[in-house]
Amino acid sequence: MTKALRVNGDRMWSRLMQMAQIGATAHGGCNRQALTDGDIAGRNLLSSWAQAAGCAVRVDAVGNMFLRRAGRDETLPVVMTGSHLDTQPTGGKFDGVYGVLAGLEVIESLNDHRITTLHPIELSVWCNEEGSRFPMAMMGSAVWSGRLPIDTAYALTDRQGISVRSELERAGVSTGAPLSRQAVKASIEVHIEQGPVLEQTRKTIGIVTGVQHMSRHEVIVEGQEAHAGPTPMDMRRDPIRVLSDLLPALYTATERHGPDARITFGFIETLPGSPNTVPGRLRFTVDIRHPDAKRYAALRQELDQLVRAALVRHSLAGDVRCVWEAPGVSFDPVCVDAVRRAVNDLGLDSLEMVSGAGHDSCNVSAVVPAAMVFVPCAGGLSHNEAESAAAGDLTAGANVLLHAMLQLAMR
């Protein structure tokens, strides 16, 4: 009898638009950075909606909110959904917020149809996902999952020197309380894709099987500054020679690792940076990503080998080092399958994909079974005031969430 159940897409859309009025920006976006007045107002609005829907509201010591709908057996682990309400300074109306309000819509739809699940359901709102005000993305979920000490989170400060701890206290959170992680059977997060693939392939739902491996590297090559005129080419120590070898070699290597491989040279600097001086120093960054652990590791290794070989070939000193790495995530097969079956039951067009961006679910999946659902966003734009998504796609994603959660929460 639950097969025919659908969410109320109009109600969810109207809640999205009401939430977007808090911290609304001039160009149609939102500015509700973590623990600002806007973020606190958004959290309070959500609390009032959830309480009206019969949920119990709990906030943990790092500001994560858990809105609980009782199950038939309250001793069983919860089936969780959720995302974040905070935004970038010039963020959109949907990033994170959609995942939270889709979760609320699931709860309200179950209320409408007087369905009680066996497991309790919890809607989570993770504190400071964006990391734009306090420089630590996915902070709340990292503390919850035990990957980040709470005191490290408390000590983070914004540009004015205001700490997370003092802002949590201002928001009425009792800091210092012991943080105990509730038992969770499964967690499903819905999110806009934040990339163009679903839109371009005309699919409504992304079944997210994991998050890609990613790392950032810095390459430095030492040359010798020399006059661009009198110095013959064969008498220079020109670090750009290394770059001219590396770029084609690395693009080729990346192509060899298939269409899921990514390489980005986002920063290239020469010193002194003068048009008529051979640079004395070259510094550039390489961002490498791949969903497959073996291919990712191979590409990383090729970067190191290609840099070293180019340095030797041109008799130049230099180095390559990894400055940041986030290991990839494979989501739980049972949770992914619950999403897959929901998509099939609903007859929606879908694509299995890995996320190119980090999400709270990366932290959550470190300690409990988790998966994600993506819906398209216009032009793939996100972290942008123009971020936009079609109401029909958002409703489809919420229906997938509803049916995946029902599968997991009913037995």
Q: Where do contacts with Zn ion occur on this chain (CB under 5 A)?
A: 95-96
Q: What's the rounded Cα separation, in Å, for the pair 215 and 323? A: 8
Least CB distance from residue 326 to Zn ion, whole Å? 15
Q: Are 65 and 117 in contact (CB under 8 A)?
A: no
Least CB distance from residue 390 to Zn ion, whole Å? 18
Report residue 401 as tokens.
């969430």
Cβ closest to Zn ion, residue 86 vs residue 238: 86
Least CB distance from residue 160 to Zn ion, whole Å? 24
Cβ closest to Zn ion, residue 91 vs residue 291: 91
Least CB distance from residue 96 to Zn ion, whole Å? 4
Cβ closest to Zn ion, residue 125 vs residue 282: 125
Least CB distance from residue 146 to Zn ion, whole Å? 21
Cβ closest to Zn ion, residue 60 vs residue 95: 95
Least CB distance from residue 156 to Zn ion, whole Å? 19
Cβ closest to Zn ion, residue 63 vs residue 96: 96
Least CB distance from residue 35 to Zn ion, whole Å? 16
Cβ closest to Zn ion, residue 101 vs residue 263: 101
Report residue 315 as tokens.
């008799």
Least CB distance from residue 354 to Zn ion, whole Å? 16
Using Cβ positions, the residue closest to Zn ion within the complex turns out to be 96
Least CB distance from residue 141 to Zn ion, whole Å? 11
Report residue 149 as tokens.
């000490």
Q: What's the rounded Cα separation, in Å, for the pair 190 and 42? A: 19
The Cα-based distances of 43 to 8, 50, 124, 248 in angstroms read 22, 10, 11, 49
Cβ closest to Zn ion, residue 286 vs residue 373: 373
Cβ closest to Zn ion, residue 191 vs residue 236: 191
Least CB distance from residue 13 to Zn ion, whole Å? 19
State the SS3 of the chain: CHHHCCCCHHHHHHHHHHHHCCCECCCCCECCCCCCHHHHHHHHHHHHHHHHCCCEEEECCCCCEEEEECCCCCCCCEEEEEECCCCCCCECCCCCHHHHHHHHHHHHHHHHCCCCCCCCEEEEECCCCCCCCCCCCCHHHHHHCCCCCHHHHHHCECCCCCEHHHHHHHCCCCCCCCCCCCCEEEEEEEEECCCCHHHHCCCCEEEEEEECEEEEEEEEEECCCEECCCCCHHHCCCCHHHHHHHHHHHHHHHHHCCCCCEEECCCEEEECCCCCEECCEEEEEEEEEECCHHHHHHHHHHHHHHHHHHHHHCCCEEEEEEEEEECCEECCHHHHHHHHHHHHHHCCCEEEEEECCCCHHHHHCCCCCEEEEEECCHHHCCCCCCCCCCHHHHHHHHHHHHHHHHHHHCC
Cβ closest to Zn ion, residue 11 vs residue 383: 383
Cβ closest to Zn ion, residue 134 vs residue 284: 134
Q: What's the rounded Cα separation, in Å, for the pair 106 and 408? A: 13
